[in-house]
Amino acid sequence: MRAVVTGGAGFLGSHLCDRLLAENWEVLALDNFITGDAANIAHLSGNPKFHFERCDVSEPLRVEGPTAYVFHFASPASPPDYLKFPIETLKVGSYGTMNALDLARAKQAKFLLASTSECYGDPEVSPQTETYWGRVNPVGPRSVYDEAKRFAEATTMAYHRHHGVDTHIVRIFNTYGPRMRLNDGRALPNFVYQALCGNPITVYGDGKQTRSFCYVSDLIDGIYRLSQSDEHYPTNIGNPTELTIMDFAERIRAYFPKAEKIIHEPLPEDDPKQRRPDIAKAKRLFGWEPKVSLEQGLGWTLDYFKEQFARAAGSR
């Protein structure tokens, strides 16, 4: 049983590779390192069941040998990353998704798309259920990511309906944990990096916008269970514990006795005001719900970031 994981050197892709190997899969990870890091998979280099190929999955894919599953995780995911690489993001969501689906079709493999809660845009309903169609600005700065993922979902459903590919779609809500890049620009790494550097913590806008943060091991467990299910329509995986970004910043600040104050900076355009997954479907279909509390998950993640920071400081 061999699985191909696109974006396998990224934050989530590398944790998925670990889980697949633990489930006795052989894994071929594909990545071009646009936002990933070889360090995320360095621990797998001696594993005979793990293989890596550096390539851009927006270009036609050539994969030799049998493949039973294609997991398509390649895409910049942090807002600053996809704003820096808008065309690459559109390409990997469109051409990249088609290439990954063509591979699954040619190998008669199953397919899972890493989609996103961004498909709901700036939602008018909360929590967000999978049946909500969303409110996305199709021409705003975030559209390069949101619309690419919506296109990717539409393409996945078309390959399922028209070509009979056994496809699955996970809508991932904000996830955190070890192997996030300390400088990836998302709220959690930003706040931690700022606290570690002794700089003020930047909350965008008034900080009343909400998010719901899921620890990475919970997310990967939900994705693995979905991949083994018969569900073809999008399924939310995330932690429904919702909090304001101001509250989140204050909680992180509390871990650092010498942290600077919180300052406010302008809210990015189209920044969603609220986000919370309705996970009733995942619970009903495959008995999944998150187990790790925010306190526990933050503790583990901050330990990781502190170690990374100390290592980087040591090598300077």
Catalytic residues: 145
Contact 188, 252 (CB under 8 A): yes
Positions 177 through 196 that interact with ligand UDP (CB under 6 A)? 186-187, 190
The listed partner (ligand NAD, ligand UDP, none) that binds 235, CB under 5 to 8 Å by sort, is none
Burial degree of 249 (CB within 10 A; 0-12, 13-18, 19+): buried
Name the site residues for ligand NAD (rule: CB under 6 A).
6-7, 9-13, 30-36, 56-58, 73-77, 92, 96, 114, 116, 172, 174-175
CB-nearer residue toward ligand UDP: 190 or 236 = 190
Q: Is the peptide bond before 127 cis (omega within 30 degrees of 0)?
A: yes
Work out how close the CB of 79 gets to ligand NAD at its nearest, in angstroms, rounded to a whole number: 11
From 6-14, 91-99, 204-212, 296-304, give the range in contact with ligand UDP by CB under 6 A.
204-212
CA 289 to CA 291: how far, in whole Å?
Answer: 7
Residue 251, token pair as written in the block: 């909680």
Print the binding letters for residues 268-297 with ligand UDP: x by CB under 6 A, - otherwise: x--x--------------------------
Residue 89: alpha-carbon gap to chain centroid: 14
Token pair recorded at residue 133: 């169609």
Task: Pick between residue 49 and residue 84 the one whose CB is nearest to ligand UDP.
Answer: 84
270 binds, among ligand NAD, ligand UDP, none (CB under 5 to 8 A by kind): none
Task: Map residues 215-254 to x or -, x wherever contact with ligand UDP holds by CB under 6 A.
Answer: ------------------------------x---------
What residue 160 binds from ligand UDP, ligand NAD, none (CB within 5 to 8 A, per partner kind)?
none
Q: Which residues contact 13 (CB under 8 A, 6 or more apart)?
A: 5, 6, 7, 29, 31, 36, 40, 71, 73, 74
Picked from ligand NAD, ligand UDP, none, the partner binding residue 10 (CB below 5 to 8 A depending on kind) is ligand NAD
Tokens 């807002």 locate to 79
By CB under 6 A, name the binding residues for ligand UDP. Answer: 78-79, 174, 186-187, 190, 202-204, 209, 211, 245, 268, 271
